[in-house]
Structure 1
């Protein structure tokens, strides 16, 4: 909740997460949302490095300094979640929270299982192949509601 009350950014793997979030709730805390999956430079790097746009989007977020103390919200791309894990282990990135709920048959369950081995960063995941952007949005709305409730109770 501290990341929310401190106005830290939410970095999503896909636009669907960003557009699904309540603008008034985000504005209340000064929280911005970012996604880079469709950026031209991300697409070009993915092609030139024989990588995925999801991986390159997370690398761009890292280069821009958005991951440390931010909230990482993954609802679609297991490769984005695997890249976040790599950035944590190999480059010392420290998000305030990972919400890892990619959906699908290829690497979705495995990527979420890999998150459970992280001790450096708090995380929320769904298990198995199920997940998706809508679950990530629901989780973020629940966290925003908790932050609002805590704010109302504070003296």
Structure 2
């Protein structure tokens, strides 16, 4: 993937001039970086019957907030199911993502689904609670099976 900006930079440096070629290469590279932050890799597993496990592989930033929410709403359709977001790889979030998670919780309640934030780091928990204090009841730690039994 790194060859695309390199090749484009070299091509435009030779075709136009050095300064514009470098600027075009920077713009192409920034496009790749922004796309990766706006569309993070998400793994979806149906862990147990009626339990969806969402595993973001990178942090969640404001550019990905809507994409993340829509991904869950489109892929977790079973009524009376539990959606578990594994926060192990989420290093930090901003208030936009926290608001989106709060909205997601309300939308899933309307669909008779339950949302759990599992293994979130303390800084992420603090941001979520700062945006909506009621989210503290769905921020859980421990073994998944035990957590699911406690919340039923």
Structure 2 length-normalised TM: 0.41
Larger radius of gyration: 2
Q: Which has the higher helix share?
A: 2
Which structure is higher in RCO with an 8 Å CA cutoff and minimum separation 6? Answer: 1
